[in-house]
Amino acid sequence: MRNSYLAVLSWPWAHSYCWSTVRWDGVICIGSVVRGETPHFDFVCQATAQGIMDVGLKTGRPAVFCVLTDDNIEQARARSGGKHGNKGVDAAVALLRMAALRRKLSA
């Protein structure tokens, strides 16, 4: 599911709904939250991380948190293909390994 218009707080619900209708091996929640001038950033990031973890535990399938939580746009760019690599690739590798481990342990 690729929806750039969904607010990150909607992601846990969206992924939970999708899992109830389609059997995926796992999901990667990719996005970016850039700190603003208020504490809202902290609330959004914490709630999103908790929600994604809860969905993974509820479904028994990997839900990989790949939401960049950066102080500024430069940090976000550096972690999404810039000098710090691409965290989306790291998340994809993690999901593939977790899905393989799940299949192995279920066999």
- Do residues 11 and 31 make contact, with C-beta atoms less than 8 angstroms apart? yes
Question: What global pTM score does this model have?
Answer: 0.77
DSSP state of 39: T
Give 22-25's long-range contacts (Cβ < 8 A, gap of 24+): 24/61, 25/61, 25/62, 25/95, 25/99, 25/102, 25/103
Catalytic residues, by residue number, are: 40
d(CA 103, CA 24): 12
pLDDT tens digits, one per residue of 72-102: 999 999 988 888 889 999 999 999 999 999 9
Average pLDDT over the chain, rounded to whole? 85
Task: Give the model's confidence band at 1: pLDDT under 50 very low, under 70 low, under 90 confident, else very high.
Answer: very low
